Structure 1
Amino acid sequence: MKHSNAARLGTVAAVVGFLAFVEFTSGILQGYYTPVLTDIARHLGIHDADVNWLEGSQLMLSALVVPALAKLGDMIGHKRILLVSTAITAAASLVLPFTDQFWVFLAAWALQGFYVVWLPLEVALIWSRSRTAERPAAITAKAAGLLVAALEAGAITGALLGGALIDALPLTVVLLIPALAVVACFVVVLFGVEESPDLAGGRLDTVGLTLITLALLALTGGLSFMRLNGPGDWLSWSLIVLGVLAVWPFARWELRHPDPLIDVRLFRSPALWPVFLTAGLFGVSVLGAQAPLSTFARTDPAVAGYGLGTTGFATSLIIGIYLIGMISGAMLFPFVTRWVAPRIALVGASGLVAAGFLLFLPFHDAYGQVIANMVVVGLGSGALVAALPAAAAAAAPAHQTGVATGLTNTVKTVGGAVASCVFGIALLSHAGADAAASASSTAGSFTGYVTVWLVCGLTAAAAALALCLVPKGAFSDGSRADAGAGHPLGEDAATTR
């Protein structure tokens, strides 16, 4: 038995090594562009607030594709879908350096968002190899922490490299580097990663996919129109309401389907629904606030009356320190759960994110203040990025790990898309009224930045409260024996798990 467990752990360690390179590349994509967003805006001839269009479009497309890709991973192979998503990301990344047309750039930037399914697929790959070991939840949590550490190391590398190169090289050359990294990532996955041993098979629920796609299109389309026409536009609100209402027929269909795209009964699980809610609320800050934080740092206080006036490299240092905080949070989480229950650790991580953003309200005038705030946010964010998909995998049925981990990313992406729209409107809505902002034609409003910090802080606090409702002992290996009674799919699912 010991030899068998050692062999399983060796297999897990091997796949984690290759997947760490994938997450390192994902980190490059997430960190590299942030310090150069202002330069991209000037290159495309758009307002700073319109940078949120790039972020929002990518988040919207990601919300559409993750459910299908996660389900296909469970059905036909997590590695296979990882390869497909990597190929699409590489192709889109190669378009960015060679266009100065906003709509072409926007479309390629959106397609680049296929990388968001990488981490859920990787966690599913790891869980498929570790679930027969003695402590699968702990193994998966540690592996997820290593992957997130690799992700944030890549983000630090990308942020520092992007910030340094943008001050020295043409933008075309700067944008080509991450594209080449994704191409290398495809080669690593193709030759270094083995397929999941047990696949669910079956046929894709195309009706369910169509229904949820229409719902998400209506929701994200309404958000897009609201950014164009303002919060008083009736068409925008009509589409948003239609998107929310369209979830009902989707849920009804999924409940009747023998092999649903998304088993909505997962949302009834007392251990899973707070995780999904937390992921959505967490998406507001970890995805929706990236562009505003970068543009705030780059805004010249001598012109606008606020901001830090940092160069590209100085901005990348802020991002790099924040990402070091995320690495620390991701790596510390498995050790913290040795002394406290995983749900308590998740509550504490959400509390750190809330505290960090609320600290911006009084402390935002100095470079050191912003760095200190971002370290607090980073510690909590790193723990959540690593722990949420691992917690979902531990609480879900064995044949639904890809779906469950994918759902954490889907709802996180939807939360980020909503936040991106709201923040874009907030940064523009007072630009004419703020005397400071009116001095610069491209700077967002200070009132808008205050809105960003406040919303991020309050949503993180709400996530902490939601996690308090998770049953005691959830997400730990010791709770697996009792999982059947509380699981929405019954005792058989828990026994299989």
Structure 2
Amino acid sequence: MTSVASAKPRLGALAGIVGFLAFVEFTSGVLQGWYTPMLTDIARHLGIHDADVNWLEGSQLMLSALVVPIFAKLGDMIGHKRMLLVSTALTAAASFALPFTDSFAVFLVAWALQGFYVVWLPLEIALIWSRARQSGSGSLLTARAAGLLVAALEGGAIAGALVGGALVDALPLWIVLLIPALFVTGCLVVILIGVKESPMLSGGRFDTTGVVLLTLALAAFTGGLSLLRLDGGLLAWALVLGGALLIWPFAVWELRSTDPLIDVRMFSDPALWPVFLTAGLFGVSVLGAQAPLSTFARTDPAVYGYGLGTAGFATSLIIGLYLIAMIGGALLYPVVARRLTPRMALIGASVLVGIGYLLFLPFHSAYGQVVANMVVAGIGSGALVAALPAAAASAAPSRATGQATGLTNGVKTIGGAIASCVFGIALLHGTGGVAESTAGSFAGYVTVWLVCGLTALVAAAALLLVPRDAFTDRRA
């Protein structure tokens, strides 16, 4: 029998570790918000087209999709704190490289390597769940902690977007790009001092064959998508199809492995597969649409007939209000989940994301309209960012907590990477009418809004298939 705890759970002994991890997530937010209002400035600095900004986003998302399952598995095996430290050190090194190059190739590599920060949240949720599970209210405690971490994340993103947007108009770009690297360095100290290792580790052997098969599949698939942006030839389509087909031998190997990189049986669990599908579809909007939303706001309507023509700081205000809405959604999720069920809270959040992006279709010509759309989508997005790893942790086998939380981020990242490539193609096509244009096409922006809205509604429909009492604390 399952039920939702009627009393509001308290973090208690978890408050200390949540506080330290909140600083790490604040820094993660700084990284995610800092660069967004200055993407157009970065494009001009590197001498690339606005649509080519998606190469930066896509490369980072693709590397992230690969490292999340690897680091999540290693976290279960040898320690979530240990892998949190490794990923933070790698992120810091990449962040220090960005300010000191004007080469697109070097910038692209460093930007991709900075994507190691995506493993922070799933590793943190695994750390928290490993302690909360013994309390009898582990699911709701983890949901509350996840909400606080996501609130810290989005608070950092707000600070990053506002400060970054203001500084890019006043300081040399290299100085502005240096500041996030200092924050990441501070995280290393915080993790070393304030975070203790998970009390239970699974051990086992590392699945090297699984890593190779997964790497080949992801490299071929996303490489094909990138080539589609260039010429759309037969080779591009062959790589896309080949990458998709390589998932089959990977899954077969994982099923036969006694200690798999990813326990693919979780994808057949009636409580987990809709969560993973929702994560992938959610990645389309929360990750793949970030650059298009920024460049749309910066596009001058007097020249192109669409866009808002905002400067860096005005663009950062839009992003800041969106992130405030995400904080509200993250903090509301455990409240709604306790009063209704986690399943209903997830469905409602997905519907809000869908409505928010579909509102762009009729309402996109005024600053207030864009802000209102983003607030609606932001409430749903904040709830999903907090809810998905917490739900996966509560439904996963005890030996695979890190894998399950990592999969929500990994699948979300894959969805964002695919969307980033597709949106880059959509924005690039249709600009031929203005030979010297560096702006994306209006038809491309419509495609972004439509795809983001519909994928969110499909996710809501999938979540209807989740058992009604999923993700709740079970009583004997």
1:426-476 deviations in Å (ceiling 9; x for gaps): 00111114xxxx276111100100000000001001000000100111011
Q: Are the equivalent residues in 2 in contact too, given 1:11–1:129 (CA < 8 A)? A: no
Unaligned runs of 5+ in 2: 1-9
What is the aligned partner in structure 1 of residue 468 from structure 2? 472
User: What are structure 1's unaligned runs of at least 5 residues?
Assistant: 1-7, 482-497
Residues of 2 paired with 1:160 and 1:130: CA distance? 35
8 Å CA contact retained: 1:353, 1:376:
yes
**CA distance, structure 1, for counterparts of residue 435 and residue 324 of structure 2:** 35
Aligned-partner residue type, residue 243 of structure 2: G
| 1:318 corresponds to | 318
Equivalent residue number for residue 111 of structure 2: 109
| Greater alpha carbon shift after TM alignment, 154-163 vs 218-227 | 218-227
Give the equivalent residue in structure 1 for 2:90: 88
Q: 2:179 aligns with which of 177, 200, 205?
A: 177
Give the corresponding residue for 2:378.
Answer: 378
Structure 2 contact 21–124 (Cα < 8 Å) conserved: yes
Instruction: Supply the AA of the counterpart residue of 1:220.
Output: T
| Distance of 2:355 and 2:368 partners within structure 1 | 17
TM-score using structure 1 length: 0.93
Is the CA contact 2:347–2:463 (under 8 Å) kept in the aligned structure 1? Answer: yes
State the number of aligned residues.
467
- In 1, the alpha carbon distance for the partners of 2:473 and 2:353 equals 27
1:163 corresponds in structure 2 to: 165
Contact 1:31/1:158 (CA < 8 Å) preserved in 2? Answer: yes
Superposition TM-score, scaled by structure 2 size: 0.97
- SS of the equivalent of 1:432 reads coil
CA distance in 2, matches of 1:43, 1:362: 34
Q: How far is 1:339 from its partner?
A: 2.0
Write out aligned runs for 1:209-288 (5 A).
209-230=211-232, 233-288=233-288
State the identity %: 76
Q: Which residue of 2 aligns with 1:196?
A: 198
SS class of match (2:244) = helix
Structure 1 residue 338: Cα displacement: 2.2
1:395-422, CA deviations, whole angstroms, 9 ceiling, x for partnerless residues?
A: 0011100000000011101100000000
CA contact (8 A) 1:86 1:186 kept: yes
Counterpart check, 1:459 vs 2:448: no
Measure the CA separation in 2 of the matches of 1:21 and 1:396: 27
Match of 2:29? 27
Match of 1:136 among 131, 138, 148: 138
Residue by residue over 1:165-223, the C-alpha shift from the partner in whole angstroms, topping out at 9 and shown as x without a partner, is 01100001000000111111111111111110111111101111111111111111111
1:449 aligned onto 2:449 = no
Partner of 1:347: 347
* Partner secondary structure for residue 357 of structure 2: helix
Range 241-250 or range 419-428, more displaced: 241-250
State whether structure 2 residue 362 is matched by structure 1 residue 366: no
Q: Is the 8 A contact 2:350 2:456 kept in 1?
A: yes
CA distance in 1, matches of 2:257, 2:330: 37
Aligned to 2:6: none
Instruction: Summarize deviations over 1:109-135 as a string: whole Å, max 9, x none.
Output: 000000000000000000001111120
Residue aligning to 1:428: 428
**Residue 291 of structure 1 aligns with which residue?**
291
Alignment-derived partner of residue 309 in structure 1: 309
Choose 323-332 or 440-449, whichever is displaced more: 440-449
Identify the residue that residue 406 of structure 1 maps to in structure 2: 406
Runs (4 or more) in structure 1 with deviation over 2 Å come to 8-11
Q: Is the 8 A contact 2:140 2:338 kept in 1?
A: no
Once the two structures are TM-superposed, the CA of residue 280 in structure 1 deviates from its matched residue by: 0.2
CA distance in 1, matches of 2:352, 2:463: 14
RMSD: 1.1
Give the superposition deviation at 1:11. Answer: 3.3
Give the whole-Å Cα distance in 2 for the aligned partners of 1:356 and 1:62: 26
Following superposition, the deviation at residue 290 of structure 1 comes to 0.1
1:306 is displaced (CA, Å) by 0.6
Distance in 2 separating the partners of 1:25 and 1:176? 14
AA at the equivalent of 2:438: T
Distance (Å, rounded) in 1 between the aligned partners of 2:225 and 2:262: 24
